[in-house]
Chains A and B, each alone.
Chain A
Amino acid sequence: MISFNKEQIYIVTGASSGIGEGVALLLNELGATVVGIARNEERLNSMKAKCKYPENMYIEIKDLAEDIDGLPQYVKDLKNKYGKFSGMAYCAGISDIQPLQLLTYPEIDYLFKVNFFAPLFITKGLLDRRNNIGKGTSIVAISSIEAYLNDRGMSKYASSKSALISAYKCMAAEVAQSGIRVNTISPSDIKTPMTMCEAAQSLREHREEKYPMGFGEVSDVANMAIFLLSNSSKWITRQDYIIDCGVM
């Protein structure tokens, strides 16, 4: 049985909804201290209201895309506030289905900030040995099955997620000797507010029929993230895990 203790402090980004919320709540339930980060204070508070141990759940309101270069310092500030981190689940991300005709540079730039540059630079801060506990530190980021499917309309989203997987594998190689692990998870359609919104659904008609076990649930991904953060996966690093009930 996987369990944590309150001295183990984890950052969870995107903690106010979807997969990030699921990971934050489960980590907290299993005994870890969680610093949940998101943009929306109200939704962060409603996440916190659902958690099992509110005394071990902290929230931070932050738009991670607004000052990418400042993110390593932001992590250092959080370390000074909460203590050295045992790891992070990077779950913040945005999805945008856009065929080539509609692509514009400012929009792809923004999406890359949220999906790629922010995780890269917040991870840079967390992998600074002054900010983590060293051996046993584990980082996991949520990528997407689109990194493999490369569907129509997905050029910007899929490429941001592919880039994330590559960067994480390089970083994993850089810190493996220190006993620090870095992995990614690539889920397919999971029922979250982001994927179930009307705009996303209109482009995904009959999509659920593809899945022999139906759409995935947040807990399907959160459990994997918890496993990768825990000591149970202590010999697993530099991997990407597809969670798609076997469709791919």
Chain B
Amino acid sequence: MKKEEFLLALEDVLQMEDPLTEDQILTELDEWDSLSKMAVMAYYKKNFGIAINLNDLKDIQSVQDLIEIAGDNISD
């Protein structure tokens, strides 16, 4: 998946009104709540086969962090 595609998908998962950028700090967003985190976990499992555990989630601060976790699943 291309990075742009992922950003659009993430916008939908987080139900964002405004476009997301790679350097967005997630913890600054109202949208980054417990339900959104659950939705991101489900999205990674379904689309990338990656199980994000709660510990990993604590370390996720930015969209960039999420992209890194996806590894080869997201390309430039």
Contacts and interface: CB of A to CB of B under 8 A. Distances in A.
> Do A and B belong to a common assembly?
yes
Interface of A: 128-130, 174-175, 177
Interface string B22-34: 0000000001011
B56 interface: no
A130 B33 contact: no
B75 interface: no
A174 B31 CA distance: 13
B35 A177 contact: yes
B17 interface: yes
Indicate the size class of the contact surface on chain B.
under 10
A128 B13 CA distance: 10
Interface of B: 15-17, 31, 33-35
Contacts of A130: 15-17
B15 A129 contact: yes
B15 A174 contact: no
Contacts of B15: 128-130
Contacts of B16: 130
Contact of A177 (B17, B31, B33): B33
A177 B17 CA distance: 19
A176 to B, nearest CB: 10
A10 B36 CA distance: 26
B14 to A, nearest CB: 9
Contacts of B34: 177
Contacts of A128: 15
Given A130-B16, A177-B33, 9 more contacts: A128-B15, A129-B15, A129-B31, A130-B15, A130-B17, A174-B35, A175-B35, A177-B34, A177-B35
